[in-house]
């Protein structure tokens, strides 16, 4: 069953219309609708419950795909979960770069390709 319009609206409101991974604003990309996405994909037993969903820009969502973890320094670490983790404890902005502060943050920055040229350019104008 598809995610209801009401749930999508609440997820967008909760996120302040910003990507919960890289922080871009929907207003910065008005021609591309941000995605209400599963933090844990359905194929990994994620649910459509509002507490399992987040708002993601198209770049973060496409790079993340169904991934829930990655190898970081030879260790398997989960990707950032905006429902249970605090962004500022795992990342910080340094100019137009997003830097991982923890293994979770580092893995997420890499897997989601958060510092690609287009997003860095957008951050320069924010």
Give the confidence band of 98 by pLDDT, cuts at 50, 70, 90: very high
In the DSSP assignment, the letter for residue 76 is E
pLDDT of residue 69: 96
pLDDT of residue 2: 83
Residues 107 and 100 sit within 8 Å (Cβ to Cβ): yes
Q: Which residues of 84-94 are buried (b: 16+ CB within 10 A; e: fewer)?
A: ebeeeebbeee
Name the H helices within 16-124.
58-64, 87-90, 103-111, 117-124
- Please give the mean pLDDT across all residues of the chain: 95
Interval 74-90: pLDDT, tens: 999 999 999 999 999 99
Residues 66 and 72 sit within 8 Å (Cβ to Cβ): no
Average pLDDT of span 31-44: 93
pLDDT of residue 64: 96
Interval 16-32: pLDDT, tens: 999 999 999 999 998 99
Give the position of tokens 């708002």.
55
- pTM for the model: 0.93
């Amino acid at each position: 069953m598809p995610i209801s319009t009401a749930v999508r609206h609440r997820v967008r409101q909760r996120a302040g219309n910003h990507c919960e991974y890289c922080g871009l604003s929907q207003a910065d990309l008005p021609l591309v609708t941000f995605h209400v996405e599963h933090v844990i994909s359905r194929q990994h037993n994620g649910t459509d419950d509002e507490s399992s969903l987040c708002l993601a820009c198209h770049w973060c969502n496409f790079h993340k795909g169904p991934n829930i973890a990655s190898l970081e320094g030879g260790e398997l670490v989960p990707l950032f979960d905006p429902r249970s983790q605090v962004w500022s404890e795992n990342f910080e902005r340094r100019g137009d770069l997003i830097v991982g502060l923890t293994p979770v943050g580092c893995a997420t920055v890499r897997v989601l390709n958060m510092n690609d040229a287009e997003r860095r350019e957008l951050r320069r104008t924010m």
